[in-house]
A and B are shown apart, each in its own frame.
Chain A
Amino acid sequence: MAEGKKKLTRRKFLLGTGAVVGGGLVLGYAALPNQMKDIAAKHKGEGQILSGWIKITPDNKVTVIVPHAEMGQGTHTALPMMAAEELDADWDLVSMEEAPGLPEFANQPLGEGFIVGDSLPDILAPLINKAFYSIAQAMDLQITGGSTSVRFTGQYGMRVAGAAAREMLLRAAAKEWGVARSDLTTEKSFVHHKASGRSASYGSLAQAASEFDPNPTPTLKPKAAHTIVGTRTIKRFDIPGKVNGTAKYGIDAEVDGMLYASIARVPVHGGTITSIDDAAALAMPGVKKVCNLGYAYAVVADKYWRAKKALDVVEIQFEAGGNELVDSDAIFARFNKDLGELELEYDIEEGDVEAAAGKLIEADYAVPYLAHACMEPMNATAWMRDGKLDVWTGTQAPLMARAAAATAAGIEPENVTIHNHMLGGGFGRRIHAENDYVAPGG
């Protein structure tokens, strides 16, 4: 085998961690009329929900509901742009809302409607192979990660939702005016009938439009007809709040009378605390409690600085658990062993490398295991009231956070509300399967 062809792919690693599932929720809404009714029922009185992610109010304003977290990648603006483009909306009238952490906004509709069923559209086939390494795992997620928001949710969801909503508006206008749909045009959130000179705003048609079922396979605009995407500079919605300190991150959540916890982990991943001496910490001002979580310990106090100072005087003994000898050298040694011994798969095979190669260049490339190093420290704020739990945090996976908080609190996930905020950096750190920074709060 030619050395040049033998490679592990980055994509495989990403998929292996379940990061790529954005495609799922896409089709859920835009394509499944029965889901629409559930969504519409939940958003009653807030304007007409067309195609799941698009809300149009009588004042002709369009709100795009984005099922992804904003962590600096611009998805809170890019996805509304893609929906607005196909909707033919006036960009100045478009705003966005982040979808709540609810299963309706996750992959379940896709799982039930398409994967388990047999009516898989061709367009989805590559997604199933490449993105859904495990259907079962994909169904319960609402993840922002793997660079999938624009590529999957945007491409297969927002565009379809926008085009489907536009079609519904056209049908409503055609019915009301008794004219052929093909004689109607749209521009900047208005439907026009040139022959009669009639025009109507999307806002005035939204109610009537919602009576129609969305078409799961509407015709999408050709690139040449774009007026928003790729044609001009669009300023991000989230930036003004990020230059004057008003943007709210998880760490900014505040509840009256809240307590603060400062947490430290056992120094070795996978290690367990065997004994803990918390006497000195408990004697410090404002300290309420010292918690032994097994893999970590935490001090709860009335102020953060008091919790942090008290944490420093807690003494623990721990069992390392087997990872104490894992370091960069050991990791590289393992990589090299596997590279030499394992049969590796091809990601892409194209042409004949050996025939095309003029000069053989050999080099080793290696990068160490790196910390994600988000600027905003991991955090969550939790408030349990009457058996219901509210959690304020910044997460790339709100449903996983909800499940983790529910398990930690011993209640059903339905009784947990995740209030997702801006993420001060994500990079995959805030997608962790066990949501290690949410569960201790729960």
Chain B
Amino acid sequence: MPYTLKVNGETRTVDVEPDTPLLWVLRDELGFKGVKFGCGVAACGACTVQMDGAATRTCVYPVEAAEDIEITTIEGLSDEGVFTDVQQAWIDEQVPQCGYCQSGMVMAVSALLDENPSPSDEDINDAITNVCRCGSYPRIKKAIKKVISERGAA
């Protein structure tokens, strides 16, 4: 079945079965390999992208429901060679270890901060449920707070 998707500002057409998870369409049909396959059951968040700005786990999201939605992957978050303030905070705080979860982490955090510029610790814990097997959580929190304070000062 052909589907028309809006990914990173471009319109793309793919021909796949309706139940194909958006994850595999983004990775294998459209080449956005920064979107990662982790658990396949929406538990880990490695596959998180933004759909109309909301953090969404794509490994269980059927492509047939993804039309007419603005999809942003990690590749579309910033121009090549440029880092958003969230990505820069990730570098400044040296957040990633193995890094496999971090595309999803950055997408989820970016969505949270766009929606709520000054989330409390509780808000962060509620919204960012992505799994990091290396345990980078303390640095993630530090980096989030850095962005909050920088945006507040701007």
Contact = CB atoms under 8 A, between A and B. Distances in A.
A408 interface: no
A375 B16 contact: no
A236 B94 contact: yes
A241 B33 CA distance: 12
Contacts of B95: 239, 243
A375 B75 contact: no
Given A72-B98, A242-B96, A375-B133, A305 B21 contact: yes
A414 to B, nearest CB: 30
B102 interface: yes
Given A72-B96, A236-B94, A375-B131, A242 B102 contact: yes
B113 to A, nearest CB: 15
B96 A243 contact: yes
A245 B91 contact: no
B78 to A, nearest CB: 7
Majority-rule SS of A interface residues: loop
A336 interface: no
Interface residues of B, number: 40
Given A244-B77, A376-B38, A249 B94 contact: no
Interface in B16-47: 16-17, 20-21, 24, 28, 31-38, 44, 46
Contacts of B38: 375-377
B100 A245 contact: no
B99 A242 contact: yes
B74 interface: yes
Contacts of A245: 32-35, 73-75, 103
Interface string A222-261: 0000000000000110111111111111011010000010
A375 B87 contact: no
A251 B37 contact: yes
Interface of A: 71-74, 235-236, 238-249, 251-252, 254, 260, 285, 303-306, 373-377, 422-427
Interface of B: 16-17, 20-21, 24, 28, 31-38, 44, 46, 73-75, 77-78, 83, 87, 90-91, 94-103, 106, 131-134
